[in-house]
Amino acid sequence: MFFSGDPSTRKRVDLGGRSTKERDARKLLEQTRMERNRRLLQKQQNAAALKIQKFFRGRGSVAIERSKVRREFCETYGVNCQNVDRRCFEPSSSFLRQLLFFFKAKNSGDFVILVETCRLLKSFAPINGDILSLFSGLDYSAEHNLVDFRVKKLAFTCIEAIHQNRDRLRDQLLVTIEEASTSTAILMEAVSLVLDPKLPWVCKTVSYLQKRNIFKLAREIVITAKESPRVQTMTGSILSLERVLIMVVPHVGRAPCCCPVVDPRWSFSSMILTIPLIWQLFPNLKAVFAVPNISQHYIHQMAFCIQKDTHVLPIDTSTEFPGYACLLGNTLDTANVVLLQPDCSLDMAVDIASVTTFLLERLPPVKSSDKESRQSSSEEDNMLIDDIPELVLNKTLEQQIITNAIDSRFLLQLTNVLFHQVSLGTQPYDEDKEAQAIGTACSFLYAAFNTLPLEKIMTVLAYRTELVVVLWNYMKRCHENQKWSSMPTLLAYLPGDAPGWLLPLVVFCPVYKHMLMIVDNEEFYEREKPLSLQDIRLLIIILKQALWQLLWVNPLTQPSTGKSVSNNLSKKNPVALIQNRVGVVVAELLSQLQDWNNRQQFTSSSDFQADTVNEYFISQAIAEGTRANYILMNAPFLIPFTSRVKIFTTQLATARESHDHGSQAIFARNRFRIRRDHILEDAYNQMSALSEDDLRGSIRVTFVNELGVEEAGIDGGGIFKDFMEKITRAAFDVQYGLFKETVDHMLYPNPGSGMVHDQHLQFFHFLGTLLAKAMFEGILVDIPFATFFLSKLKHKYNYLNDLPSLDPELYKHLIFLKRYKGNISELELYFVILNNEYGERTEEELLPGGKDMRVTNENVITFIHLVSNHRLNFQIRQQSSHFLRGFQQLIPKECIDMFNEHELQVLISGSADSLDIDDLRQNTNYTGGYNAGHYVIDMFWEVLKSFSTENQKKFLKFVTGCSRGPLLGFKYLEPAFCIQRAAGSASNEAVDRLPTSATCMNLLKLPPYQSKEQLETKLMYAISAEAGFDLS
């Protein structure tokens, strides 16, 4: 800086507002603090260095002393203990004291000495048969402290020696007690000798071993041993290690045992039961573990840890063998034996169910068989799938879990013990115990449903347990008392205000639904098994209220279109999973009960409908993505049929209008040129050439007569309607060979259609399109389809109770087999079925190798349902599939899913109920001189009202081409019904004519008859002759 000429020194000012003294004081304090901390750290480092030095000096001194004692030991007793006699094991001898002091497991010489010591112990013990005197001399009580200490140290030293050398001894770790020459067998046999339950020190020794984590050491020994190829060739002899564990496991702290309770992290359950497939190695240990007191202790210990959310499982041995899966498999493997004990308590069953539930929830879903996958594919089209890496279990472990979890004895015993007091009703009613039993069972089964193959579980629960009856009685009692026990404690992830019926319903509905698939009509309607019809009526009310509450009134979460059984989802959003699952299973059961009600009515159809469906709900149901639309798609029976029909017709009308607006001009419409004597062939050729978009458009028809000349007239819709009536009548005629009739004259695909037409599958595709076009245009066709065929439009399977509509004789024979009390194998039936189409008899196996598989009492139910499946599903599968493809070109699956099979028939052919003549009269037009007050018109309506229902249907078919009225009344008949005067005057020639009709225009040409009797006679003759234009 340049010199300014000013010699004075400027005063420095601290802009921080502090004086120099204050700054210096703070600096001094900070320096003092840092110096104090430095001295403290130095002091701690010096102290630590002293400890380390002291430790190493101590270790060095101990090592020196050990070496000194080892030399003295070898000089006194010999390198191979050749100078040892039985007195060396007594308290006065220094033999064991010196050995236990200098022994190092990794020292090969020490290991040899220990093995030789144990061999001598084994040889000295049988001399007097009293190992107690061998260690204590003449007076155990005087030296018991020293003796107990030496024994427990010796036992642990033997196990530790094997553990420390387990890699070197891999092939000798799992040896039998007969292999006495191996070092590991000698060491384990010595441990077994000192753990004899009769010895006074046994509890102290076991306690010491447990404190030193014997189960952890044993686990690591077994896991190392399983890597040896020798394990694969082992015989059924008891293993030395297994024998030791058998002596340790019973020490659970219950009298006469005085051992303290072991930390759950190092217990038998955590360390040994998590070893993969442990019972295959130690079958004798399995029998000991299954003893009630022992298994109850360990299983209760696991249940307690689950309740406290304590993680006690060790690190997994591999990704194929996760600890929780191994624990689940081994626990299930012994649960059968435990539950079979006559004194098995409710608490024990609750603990078993709680533990298995907890472990099942962490298990990845197990894929079911191909058959189950096919049957459930239609029910699980839209699954909630997360992009989470799939955990693949070892196949043997997976099989162990599945085999035991779905074992009929296990499920039967578990439910029997849980429901014993509830089902018998012999004990005083205990609401809390009942809720606990019901909730525990439902929690376990819900977890099992989400994880394991369903078919076998459902069959056992439905037919070998009282689950359905017990759950129904519980739900019935709760409903009548208006009080549902809260069960969130059993599923911790449920909110506290979750309905008490969630858990019972999520189990009851699928099991009862499965039962209804196999129950026959006599059992359901006449014998009223398993539930009475009165109970079923109440059940429908409970299910309907629960479903409406769940989906509309107070949903726990937003509805999802998916149906998932993924445990990954249950971890992420378990509340949504159980809510969606309850919604699905309740809706499926209600739908099935509605099918039973349609077969033979036992309750009003309105019982299935929600009471609060209003115009607002209907308006919401039309819009996609709304909750009302979700209900419409998944529980349509809650909405009145007429409301669903309005939605359906609105959707079709919107589709027609949107297509018509997209057409450029009237000339863009499709035109068919149809020869009347070749109507089916021409319609097939021309309609098959249309694209899906063209099919949605208008079609105009021109008929060609026998001479090849086009008939006069412009198709404004009437000729097309006439064409549709004629083509459907011809195509679905049984004489054509594509369809057959049941005994009730209902149509279904001909299984032998391929023998009649080479292109039969293409024809079925065409017929599906044809029927869909009629529905799309709002044209009713009088074609009665069999219910089991209509179910194919809904992607549904048919079951035994659908068989009477197809073959009542076969159904009777199968029911006879089902109830046959004798030896069915004597009937000489095999798993084959005979087909007889057009005189050609063929034999078809129901199962691979079925011609050599005899039907017995054990497999007769399977045979019955395979026969039913063959006749109702398999034989018509190709025809139904092609028909459905053609049908869905115009009518999407979502629209069909809104209706059941009986409602679909009404959509196709109109209502089968008696006609509303007053409604028809109010929606009739008049022309040609007639009006609503004309005397002939008055006579006509009086005559029509006097007709029987059958004759009224004949009249309707005469004038419209269909014997059933429009779905929503005659207001929706297109075109409107019209009566035209057939003659200008009431001359004799005019009144002698018969009434005629033009079904394409819904037109009745009625002559002006003079009397009521004459009108009735002529009209009756006309409708009975089933003719139209030709009577003019």
The tokens for 414 are: 């578990």
User: Angle at the Cα of 405 (from 403 to 409), degrees rounded to 5?
Assistant: 85
The identity of residue 835, as a single letter, is N
CB-count exposure of residue 378 (10 Å: 0-12, 13-18, 19+): exposed
User: Angle at the Cα of 503 (from 500 to 507), degrees rounded to 5?
Assistant: 145
The crossing angle, in degrees rounded to 10, of helices 1012-1025 and 949-960 is 70
Taking alpha carbons only, the member of 483, 999, 416 closest to residue 726 is: 999
User: Read out DSSP for 895-957?
Assistant: HHTTS-HHHHHHHHH-B-SPP-HHHHHHTEEEETT--TT-HHHHHHHHHHHHS-HHHHHHHHH
The tokens for 1016 are: 């009735």
- DSSP code, position 849: T
Three-state SS string over 579-637 comes to HHHHHHHHHHHHHHHHHHHHHCCCCCHHHHCCCCCCHHHHHHHHCCCCHHHHHHHHCHH
The tokens for 484 are: 């549902």
**Residue 258 a catalytic site member:** no
DSSP H/E element including 1012: helix 1012-1025
| Gap between the Cα atoms of 270 and 249, Å rounded | 13
| Gap between the Cα atoms of 91 and 85, Å rounded | 14
Which of 615-639 are b and which e, b meaning 16 or more Cβ less than 10 Å from the residue's Cβ?
eebbeebeeeeeebbbbbbbbbbbb
Confirm if 831 and 846 have CB atoms less than 8 A apart: yes
| Gap between the Cα atoms of 161 and 111, Å rounded | 7
| Gap between the Cα atoms of 866 and 874, Å rounded | 10
Q: What are 830's strand-pairing partners? A: 854
| Gap between the Cα atoms of 252 and 258, Å rounded | 8
| Gap between the Cα atoms of 23 and 15, Å rounded | 12
User: Read out DSSP for 666-718?
Assistant: GGGSEEEEEEGGGHHHHHHHHHHTS-HHHHHS-EEEEEE-TTSPBPS---SSH
User: Angle at the Cα of 626 (from 622 to 630), degrees rounded to 5?
Assistant: 85
Say which residues have a Cβ less than 8 Å from residue 140's Cβ, sequence separation at least 6: 132, 133, 147, 200
**Owner of token pair 């879903």:** 365
Strands 977-981 and 924-927: parallel
Which of 398-429 are b and which e, b meaning 16 or more Cβ less than 10 Å from the residue's Cβ?
bebbbebbbbeebbbbbbbbbbbbbbeeeeee
Give the Å distances, CA to CA, from 900 to 146, 669, 906.
Answer: 84, 34, 10
| Gap between the Cα atoms of 830 and 852, Å rounded | 7
Chain centroid, CA 672 distance in Å: 50
Q: State the Cα torsion 951-956-958-961 to the nearest 10°.
A: -140
Question: Could you give the 3-state DSSP secondary structure of residue 747?
Answer: strand
| Gap between the Cα atoms of 773 and 684, Å rounded | 13
User: Read out DSSP for 852-872?
Assistant: G-B--TTTHHHHHHHHHHIII
Neighbours of 117 (CB within 10 A): 26
Residues labelled catalytic? 1000
